[in-house]
């Protein structure tokens, strides 16, 4: 499987494991394949977890302005492992993992759950997203998006973002906060 195929299938589209197993003609059931994927994923997290460059600094700066949250399609067990390894759990006011909402990204459920739990609305919220699926979820929830393109998401141009960055170092949160709220439509086309 090429890096581009992986990115387009799993990261950008968010294809279900069951669909990929059926498409590939793999004779195992999808639950067994999913468990094998999770075991490999956890091993990778344990062996080589790296934060996106400037993620810690961005979270530290964001906490000075308002609440911070992680909104993810990742299951709670894996999120706890990742946050523990990365040492950033203390920089997050709220964690919305996959078990806390009904429909996965690109549906807006995760961002709606985050705003409900934080006691905020779309006009008080900004999403920093590195995936097209996540961008679509945030925009569908009415949340303005700052897109941060990375190697795995560069295969699809960000659509509907307030701004597009190559890395988090380019983000000036103070300037963004000073110009808030932005003029955005709030819904995906």
pLDDT tens sequence across 47-66: 677 888 999 999 999 999 99
CA torsion, points 78, 80, 85, 91, in degrees to nearest 10? 130
At the top level of CATH, the class of 55-178 is alpha beta
pLDDT of residue 40: 77
Mean pLDDT of 1-18: 65
Rounded Cα–Cα distance for residues 94 and 158 (Å): 26
pLDDT of residue 180: 85
How many residues are given for the chain? Answer: 189
Q: Are 21 and 33 in contact (CB under 8 A)?
A: yes
Mean pLDDT of the chain: 84
Q: Where are the domains of the chain?
A: 3-48, 55-178
Rounded Cα–Cα distance for residues 169 and 177 (Å): 16
* Statement: residue 15 has pLDDT above 80: no
Q: Which helix (H) or strand (E) holds 63?
A: helix 55-65
Question: pTM of the predicted model, to two decimals?
Answer: 0.80
**Who has greater pLDDT, 135 or 180?**
135
Assign 27 to helix, strand or coil. Answer: coil
* Statement: residue 188 has pLDDT above 50: no
Mean pLDDT of 154-163: 85
pLDDT of residue 36: 80
Mean pLDDT of 77-89: 91
Mean pLDDT of 132-157: 89
Least-confidence region, from 18-32, 60-74, 91-105, 110-124: 18-32
């Amino acid at each position: 499987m090429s890096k581009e195929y992986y990115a387009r299938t799993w990261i950008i589209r968010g294809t279900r494991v069951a669909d990929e197993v059926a498409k590939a003609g793999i004779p195992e059931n999808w639950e067994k394949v999913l468990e094998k994927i999770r075991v490999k994923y956890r091993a990778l997290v344990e062996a080589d977890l790296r934060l996106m460059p400037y993620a810690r600094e961005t979270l530290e700066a964001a906490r000075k302005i308002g609440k911070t949250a992680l909104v993810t399609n990742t299951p709670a067990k894996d999120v706890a492992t990742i946050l523990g390894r990365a040492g950033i759990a203390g920089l997050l006011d709220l964690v919305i993992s996959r078990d806390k909402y009904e429909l996965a990204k690109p549906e807006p459920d995760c961002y709606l759950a985050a705003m409900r739990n934080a006691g905020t609305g779309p006009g008080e919220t900004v999403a920093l997203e590195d995936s097209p699926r996540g961008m679509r979820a945030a925009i569908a929830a009415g949340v303005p998006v700052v897109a941060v393109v990375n190697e795995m998401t560069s295969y699809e141009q960000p659509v509907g973002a307030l701004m597009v960055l190559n890395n988090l170092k380019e983000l000036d949160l103070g300037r963004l906060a000073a110009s808030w709220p932005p003029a955005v439509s709030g819904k995906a086309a």
